[in-house]
Each structure stands twice: as C-alpha cells, then as structure tokens.
Structure 1
C-alpha cells in the first residue's frame, strides 16, 4: 500500500505525459518554453484570477510577493504555527519577523479571532494556510486585513482544488501561492509552484523577481531570485490539469468512506459548511498518537504525521526569539494538535479494500491502548 500512489497516477496518464515530456525535450526550450505560459493561462482561468506566475517551488510562490511588496527587516508577518516551515521561513528570509497566532481547535487553520491582538505598527501582512486541503476562513482574515491596511497571502500549497464559499482556492487574498511538489493535489514530477493574483503590477513585479529582478536582457531593476518553473514540469502539469477535477471528486469519495467508517476513538477532519476540501491529507486525531502510529506501522500501513512540532517550537524560531530577548511562546491548540494528529493514506486511486485495511489497523491499535 502506498501513502500516495503516484505510480498509479502516472500509469493512468502515461501516454499523454510521456508525449508531453518528449515534445518539451525535442523543443530544446527547457527554460521559459511555451508550455509555461500556457500553464499560467490555464491555471489562472481554473482558479478564477487574471494573472498566474509560474515559479520554481511553492516556497518561492510565497517569497516572491513578500519581496515584491518590499517586506523586510523591521516588518512583521502574521501566520499560523501549525504548518510546514516554508510558510514562516519565507518571512524570515526577507529579514522580517514571523508572528504566530494560534489555530482553530476544529479545522486547525489560523484562528481569525486571535489575529487582531497580534497586530502591531510593524505588521505588514497575514499568511493564511489552507491546511490539509481546506481553506482558512479567508473572509474573516481579509476583513481584519482591510481594517488595518494589511496584505493577505493565501498559502494554497495544500488546498489547490478546494473551494471556499463558491470560490476556488488560489483566488483568495491579495495573492495566493501553491506548490506543484509531487505529493500535492496537483503535483508535477519535481519541484514547482505558482502565484495567483488580480493585481497587474504585483504580477509584473513577481515576474521580474523570478528572473533575478531582470527588466530587460542583462538589465536588473530589483534583487530577485532564480525562481522559474521548468518547461518540462509545465508540460506534465498541463496533462494532469485536464484530470484534476476528476481527481478532486475521487478524493471526496475516499474521504467520505473514511469518515463514514472511522473507528471510535479517532476523530476525522472537520470541514466547515461552504467549504470543499482538496484533501491533500486525510488527517485524524487520536489519543497517545505516537503509540498508535507505532502500532499501525507494525501492520505495514503507511502513516505520516503532519506536523509533530509546531513552528513556535522549532529550534530555529526558538533561537530567533532568544536572540531578540524574548521567551518561548505557547499556542495551546497548535501544540495539542501536534500531539494528536496522524495522516492516513490518501490519493484519488485508492481502493476501498485498502481503506478497510487502514481502518482496521486504526481500530486494532486503539484497542491496545
């Protein structure tokens, strides 16, 4: 059993993917080939925004708008402590300070009710993550940002394909960034990412930044990065995008079967009314998580933990606070979640027989506590 069965996905689209790769290779346009701009247009249309900018990773898709806005030393950016480190890492890379606020106890996304208390004169932006595939409460986040004149970035690395009140993930906030890492809902065969916005000037600046700040050939108006999306990855993603809605629908069926048959003692994800999760992960909460994971893995069922340590407890952020003369922070909901969550095998090609194996392993493990 695979945690994410990328081989099954490749076999399903093999002839088209192989042809797309061969075409990209034969063109010899490995950098900025026409497939990149075609993917940008199709993804912008899919998400429902005017502009999409292909980038080399989901991390760069978050970093580019921060750089475009000139966020840097002395500034603060508010985000969640319960996410992959890239969300806060990009803030630190600009020289700004990530400021964490706790998460909602049910969705595990950033809690809008706690954001205003963290805003200071140095706050410039809020990054809201669509954890596990479900968008945060973006309307509430945006209302707070508008009130205080702040920018909003939707971190859609896990939530591409999700919907929030009828709008697609990637169209929320001033800008959104997603990842095409192979394990994501829409994944390539290597690293890749994309930023989405309706702001023409922001899109133009991000395009400059991803090309070393280049304004014309060997003319550089900004400090930038080497952040381009490879042509071959764009070619692969153009194939996968054709089947993406079908895969999201298949993920709903897999998730619903898990939820309908979840053993007592395990709590499945809470999906808010008006939301459609992309189910990048299917994450449940259990008591004595580490013991349960150990027992399940002994049966051969693959289990992952997203995430065992909240960012406020990561060594680098503890070190940064110590250097600033600040004490470590505690976020009760994030730290409780970090002790309870475990992610089950989840992908569009999963069979119910495999799900039954997973569910039985959970039931047996909980029965041994």
Structure 2
C-alpha cells in the first residue's frame, strides 16, 4: 500500500491537462481586449444554460452574487422571510440578509443532511417569500417534496447549486427546477473557474434580462447611458468564461470520476464510518465526500499524521454562527450531525490506490 500523501483536492492536477487550451484562450482574449463581458461570456452562458436544461444563464462575479441577484430580481427584500437550511455555506444566508430579507432556518434530513421538506412546510408564514433548496455535497434536494411545499403556498423555489453542477433528480438537472438557480464556479467546484465566478440560470428569460441589467449597474435596455434599475457591479470576466467553456466539455466525465471514487469509498469504508446517503432518485456528483464519525478529533489527527487531507462541511451550522445568533432556532438534526461530519478527499482523478489509502487510515483509527 502506497504511503504517499493524499490531498483533499489537487487542483493543479485537475487543471493540468487543460493548460494548453487555457493558454490559447487567454491569448485570444488578450488579442481582442474585451476582458469583461466579451464574446466568451455569451458563448459560455448559452452552453451552460443548455447543459442545465434551462432557457437562460447570466454570468456574474461569484456564487454569492448569483443568489443576491436572484432575490433582488424577484423583488424579495425587507419584510420578507426566506427559508434556508441551517446546513449550508454561509453565503446562502448572506444573500438573504444583503437584500434586507430575514432568513428562517430549518432542519435537515438525517440521512442526506439536505433540507427537510416537512420542516420547510412548517416554517411557512404570511411573510414567507421563498425557499432556497441547497443542493449540498453534490446532491440535489428532494425536488418532488420541496416543490410540493412551494406550490402549495404559492412561494418561490430557488436552487442553490453551488456544489451541484451536473447533478440530477429524477432525470432533471440542477438549474432546471427552480424559478432561478445560483451557481458558483469557485476554483474547487466541480465546474471550477480559474478565479471567482458565478451564474444565474433560469427558465424565465424576462427575469434573466432583469438580472443581467441589475448586475450591470441597472442599465436600461434602451441605452447604456441610462439606469432605470438600482444595480450593482457583478459581471463575468471573458478569460474565466473561456476557461469554463473548456472545462464544461469534460464535466460529465469528471463527475463520473467522482462517482467512481465515491462508490469505492462506500465499499471500503469501515463500518464505524457512515457515508451520507443518496436519494434513490438522485444522481449525485459528489462535490465532497461526506461521512459521519465518532471521536472526530481523533480521526482528524490520524489523517493528518498519515498525510491525508480532510475538511468539514460544516463544523458550525449557520444558525449557531456568531453573526447570526438573532435568528437562532433549535434544530437537533443539523446540530448533532455537525459534531460528526467529516469530508474525505475527493477529486475527479482520484486513484483507487488513494481511496484505499484513506480507508486504510480510517480502519486503523476507528477499529
């Protein structure tokens, strides 16, 4: 068994095979000089919308901006509540607060650690404007049950697919089911840019046009010198869009590599290490490989000593973070899981030997 270190994610390796294509794309952008919103951006937007089974995509600065732009575009703001699972990256909550709305945290399902549709239903009140379903770890939420809740109450369903490029539920792609979807292309994502970038994807072309204008300083559709919306600056760089188009071509293959690694984990992990479940209708893309363990500190120490990377997604549920204590709820499932969750190395080009090495270390420390 190899004793070589196992990185949590080796981005140099992930991007290395594409270096020549990246350099050619960079040269093209240097040649035309349209560094922001150039032809590469429109090309990627069209490709990504089609990939997501959607009608439109709007490139923006990052995934957090994408969520903020969606909420702003829908007119959600002061006086509104938005239901958010407490198990998510803090950006989901930031977006709600930055438009002046109030987050309403709800608990998650104990097997997938994704939003609990019954908890979301119970949290709806007269001020509720939307539910944000966070497709965490690379798995989409239970679309059937969440849409049943939002349709029953006549509220918006927004997808946060920052970790789920290419994921499906019952054959439907992330980005195709909500009124709009926020994507992140942070370098470590399944579809990662060579920098910070994001996108809004939607079936509503009028909403897409409005969001595009908001993201470009609220410019009028009639003249770039007029501003008839309160806007902001969140536009995609041409060179990043070019790189994303290159990477999109291999996304399904890369996701298949992640799935192979995950299946091997499930087969070889010791019984004391419990993988997070995948819904029977879900085709997950395994952005991170999340398991639950007891004595996590001891396990992490053993992984460190063996040169095996690890992460925590997430150690502190959002409703317990110090900046958000005013919104604190009692959410027992996510609070208990936060003490046990552990993210193992995951990469599209992870080898069988690397997965086996991780499992060997875990067997040694968990018995």
Using the TM superposition, give the Cα deviation of residue 146 of structure 1 relative to its aligned residue in structure 2, in angstroms.
1.2
Per the alignment, in what secondary structure is the counterpart of residue 117 of structure 1?
Answer: helix
Distance 1:311 1:212 in 2: 30
Larger deviation, residues 11-20 vs 87-96 = 11-20
What is the 5 A alignment of 1:255-270? 255-270=262-277
- Structure 2 residue 307 is the aligned partner of structure 1 residue 300: yes
Which of 96, 121, 130 is the equivalent residue of 2:101?
96
**Offset at residue 17 of structure 1 (A):** 1.4
- Aligned counterparts of 1:302 and 1:48: Cα–Cα separation in 2: 35
Query: Unmatched 5+ residue regions in structure 1?
Result: 322-327
Once the two structures are superposed, what CA deviation does each residue of 1:173-228 show, in whole Å capped at 9, x if it has no partner?
A: 11111110000000001100111111122111100111011113131111122110
Give the Å deviation of 1:42. 0.3
Does structure 1 conserve the Cα–Cα contact (< 8 Å) formed by 2:113 and 2:276? Answer: no
Of 38, 45, 48, which residue of structure 2 is paired with 1:40? 45
Distance 2:321 2:25 in 1: 41
Name the counterpart of 1:106.
111
Structure 1 residues 298-335: Cα deviation after superposition (integer angstroms, max 9, x where no partner): 221111111000001001110x34xxxxxx42211111
Q: Indicate the larger mover: 283-292 or 84-93.
A: 283-292
**Where does residue 31 of structure 2 map in the other structure?**
26
| Contact 2:54-2:176 at 8 Å conserved across structures | yes
CA-CA distance at 1:364 after TM superposition: 1.3
TM-score normalized with structure 2 length: 0.96
Contact 1:57/1:192 (<8 A) preserved? yes
Q: Which residue of 1 aligns with 2:3?
A: none
1:213 aligns with 2:218: yes
Residues 13-48 of structure 1: CA deviation (Å, up to 9, x unaligned): 111111112211222110110000000000011111
In structure 2, how many angstroms separate the alpha carbons of the residues matched to 1:280 and 1:225?
30
Task: Return the match for 2:323 from 291, 297, 316.
Answer: 316
Decide whether the 8 Å contact of 2:214 with 2:229 is kept in 1: yes
Match of 1:150 in 2: 155
Report deviation, 1:269.
Answer: 2.1
Greater mean deviation of Cα atoms: 328-337 or 27-36: 328-337
- Give the Cα–Cα distance (whole angstroms) in 2 for the partners of residues 97 and 46 of structure 1: 33
* Structure 1 position 290, deviation (Å): 2.2
**Residue equivalent to 1:350:** 350
Tell me the SS of whatever aligns to 2:48.
helix
Q: 2:283 aligns with which of 276, 289, 295?
A: 276
SS in 2 for 1:158: coil
Match of residue 325 from structure 1: none
Does the 8 A contact of 1:138 with 1:173 survive in 2? no
- Find the aligned partners of 1:131 and 1:10 in 2 and give their Cα distance: 23
Determine the structure 1 residue equivalent to 2:332: 332
Deviations 1:21-78 (A, max 9, x none): 2211222110110000000000011111111111110111111010011111111000
Report SS of the residue matched to 1:220: coil
- Other structure's SS at 1:161 match: coil
Runs of 4+ in 1 over 6 A off after TM superposition: none
Task: Determine the C-alpha separation between the residues in 1 that align with 2:184 and 2:282.
Answer: 20
Question: TM-score when scaled to structure 1?
Answer: 0.96
Alignment match of 2:135 (pick from 104, 123, 130)? 130
Residue number among 5, 8, 15 corresponding to 1:10 in the alignment: 15
- Return 5+ residue gaps in structure 2 as ranges: 1-5
Deviation at 1:116, TM superposition (A): 1.7
CA-CA distance at 1:139 after TM superposition:
2.0
- C-alpha deviations, 1:250-297, integer Å up to 9, x for none? 111111111111112000121111211110000110012122112211
Distance 2:43 2:172 in 1: 22
Q: In structure 1, how many angstroms separate the alpha carbons of the residues matched to 2:275 and 2:329?
A: 28
> Counterpart of 2:158 in 1: which secondary structure?
strand
